Amino acid sequence: MPRSHYTGLAGPSYDQPAQAGVLLVNLGTPDAPTARALRPYLAEFLGDPRVIEYPRWLWWLILHGVILRIRPARSAHAYARIWTPEGSPLRAGSEKLAAALQVKLRQLAQGPIRVRLAMRYGEPSVRKQIEQMQRDGVRRLLVLPLYPQYSGTSTGSVIDAVADTIKQLRWPPELRIVNDYHDDDGHIEALAQSIERWWAQHGRGDKLLLSFHGIPQRYVDAGDPYFHQCNATAQSLRKRLGLDESQLVLSFQSRVGREPWLHPYTDETVKRLAREGIKRLDVACPGFAVDCLETLEEIAMQNSEFFTAAGGEALRYIPALNDSDEQVGSLASLVLRHAQGWPEFLPGGKT
């Protein structure tokens, strides 16, 4: 018999009780803070044409001839600074968020609903998790990338991975994908409450900086809505917190290479604010659902050092929403809205 191009369950899979599934997808993480573990992770991440839009042959030479010979050791050092007994903060935090969302949806909806976590790069992969959900009997699938603001480099890449998996299934599930939630009222309220709670515990700094992950300016010029959505999130938070543009500012971090990325840059901004006399700078990162290398090492460590070296007294990082009640509740509401019409999501859950 010829080999099939499609994967599926052996036997009468239609006899299984139907379930709905929610697949949370985050960026990914290496398995260990070592150069050996970073090399395949970075090769997958930086090899994604959604992330680096260069001619493939040219980028392959740069990636494998230069970057993967140097960057794994540097990245391993940064990861080692934030690694915990639980392992990667991003992986552990995302797993806790998925577990809490499972509990919350069980309380709110009739079900059965199965929540799983996938990573766009590394493990558990999008493909493995969708295939496992099919084996579990999931016939209706909602994909929720944990990127509040859409970019082709992030959410767009998740959509690619989902599509590549779905098109190889013999019996694909009914599919919906959350494109973004940058201006969702519940999400903005969750961010505001998190900041206000932190201020209540630690006092309020001289200024609040929102630092978003950057992307090359040419991606925005080509039609990526990311810059607009970051500004929309910042404006909504200003309004909700009662701040003006001098009290809440935004910047963009994590740039690499020599081409222009979104301005203003975070490292330059924190140095400038320190030179201008800001002594206590509060920094939040609303583009990150869960704390990770970019928040814990780049902001709370690197940029804190930049700020104090330029004359500031303290850069105080406000943690991501992680598995807080505010985030779990806002994501549950988001899921229920996007899954309207599916019987598993009708009200009437179990406590």
The total number of residues shown for the chain amounts to 351
Q: Is 196 annotated as a binding residue?
A: no
CA separation for the pair 44, 26 (Å, rounded):
14
Asked whether 220 and 231 are in contact (CB, 8 A), the reply is no
| Residue whose C-alpha is closest to residue 280's, from 318, 303, 313 | 313
Q: Is 182 annotated as a binding residue?
A: no
CA atoms within 13 A on the CB side of 300: 16
Q: Where are the alpha helices (DSSP H) in 141-184?
A: 155-166
Phi, psi values for residue 259, rounded to 5°: -75, 155
Phi, psi values for residue 209, rounded to 5°: -110, 130
Q: Where are the alpha helices (DSSP H) in the chain?
A: 35-46, 56-62, 68-82, 89-108, 126-135, 155-166, 185-202, 217-221, 226-241, 266-275, 293, 304-309, 325-338
Structure tokens at 187: 């999400």
What is the sign of the dihedral through the CA atoms of 334, 337, 342 and 347?
A: positive
Q: How many helices (H) and strands (E) does the chain have?
A: 13, 8
Structure tokens at 76: 């391993």
Classify each residue of 188-213 as buried b or exposed e, where b means 16 or more C-beta atoms within 10 Å of its C-beta.
Answer: bebbbbbbeebbeeeeebebbbbbbb
What is the identity of the amino acid at 149? Q
Q: How do 113-121 and 19-28 pair as beta strands? A: parallel
Asked whether 259 and 54 are in contact (CB, 8 A), the reply is no
Q: Which residues are annotated as a binding site for Fe(2+)?
A: 213, 294
Q: Which residues are annotated as a binding site?
A: 213, 294
